[in-house]
Amino acid sequence: MKKLSIGTCLVLMLSLAIPAQAASDLATSHLFYEEISYLVDRDVLSGYPDGTMRPDTGVTRAEAVIMMGRLKGFDRTQRHTGFSDVPSSHKASGYIAAATEAKLVKGYPDGSYGPNNTLTRAEMAFILSRLFIVPFRTDISFTDVSRNMRVYEPVQKILAANITIGYPDNTFRPNDTVTRGQFAAFLARGLEPKFKNDATIKQSYLRDKTKTYVYDTEFGVERHVYNYVPARNGLALGYVWSINTKDNLLLTDSVEFETSTHYTFGMPYSESYTELEYPVKIGQNWYMNTMYAAPREVTNIGVTVKTPYRMFTNAVEVTVAANSELLEKGHIYYMVEGFGEVKSVDLDGTVTKELIAIE
């Protein structure tokens, strides 16, 4: 009987996906059970030969690349990597070589890759900002991530894409390590709208990305659907809200994102406008000293607003001042947690937009 080499056995063991429900150490109550199950079903994540998943164990840089490699369909054939500590005989050499060629990962200045090092949140941000298309970025207010840090732009992207949200104390903790379960959650959020819904702040105004929102506007009926658009007019898009007519003819693509300090709506690679600043309170105002947009102010909270879809009793009323240079005649719009903007009315009482259905 022909014997297999140790390296070949390791590759075979890594390729055997253990069903999430069969893992002895993964309870259905685990915070990331659904995300882990989703990736196991997609053959992106696998357990260990002893029947465990080890969701709370740190994910190594090699394991992270293996998962990405499976997701991208990279050639896993063991080969030369160029890294001093990843010989061709290493179980992940093929994936590491492919991911390096695709510019998804980089090594250290000393020429090593550190395959057994536990992935940090900063490294995760770099990797996922390269792995997924993010056509926009948002300013961030994390107290431990400043503009002069290399990780600032990657964090901007994965925050805007609802891949991460940071911690409740408004930190990102870039030097903390990432567990296998956490990395599974980050990957799943980059892949599926339903998991992106989990990466939101408390009392979020973002809409449910698994639903279609229908509005009656001054320009006709609009259908807003969150979908994956690889590219449009030569520009890479990724996940965006596409705005269509009632007959599903495309009008434009839009983006919607939120941080602990603001909610923003705009267009990919173009203008975006802050529609709410946090904390929400009467008198909160923004765009007061700029010609970029007309001044906005929260003029009431806990407002009852009637739309064809339903009656809302917890709306935030925002008044936009008239500005002739911006052709803004002044209007009021209403924001509701979990629904975004539900109604807009000109100062003369003319309704210009309202939510009529959610599908």
**Nearest Cα to 268, choosing from 320, 230, 221?**
230
**Which 8-state DSSP code applies to residue 6?**
H
Rounded to 5 degrees, φ, ψ at 208 are: -70, 120
Residues in Cβ contact with 64 at an 8 Å cutoff, skipping those fewer than 6 apart: 119, 124, 127, 178, 183
For residue 95, the model assigns a pLDDT of 97
**Nearest Cα to 186, choosing from 103, 71, 92, 74?**
71
For residue 18, the model assigns a pLDDT of 59
Output the CA torsion sign for 317, 321, 322, 324. negative
For residue 4, the model assigns a pLDDT of 38
**Cis, bond preceding 279 (omega within 30 deg of 0):** yes
Using alpha carbons, list the distances in angstroms from residue 109 to 83, 114, 130: 11, 11, 20
For residue 86, the model assigns a pLDDT of 97
Ramachandran category for residue 74: left, alpha or beta (phi over 0 → left; psi -120 to 50 → alpha): beta
For residue 67, the model assigns a pLDDT of 96
Beta strands in 115-249 (DSSP E): 212-217, 220-232, 235-245
Give the tens place of pLDDT for each residue, 200-242. 999 999 999 999 999 999 999 999 999 999 999 999 999 999 9
For residue 68, the model assigns a pLDDT of 95
Q: Which residues of 82-102 are buried (b: 16+ CB within 10 A; e: fewer)?
A: ebebbeeebbbbbbbbbbbee
Residues of the chain whose pLDDT is less than 50?
1-16
Q: For the chain, how many residues are written? A: 359
For residue 15, the model assigns a pLDDT of 40
**Nearest Cα to 184, choosing from 32, 28, 11?**
32
For residue 64, the model assigns a pLDDT of 97
C-beta separation of 135 from 269 below 8 A: yes
Rounded to 5 degrees, φ, ψ at 279 are: -75, 145
Give the tens place of pLDDT for each residue, 130-148. 999 887 778 888 999 999 9
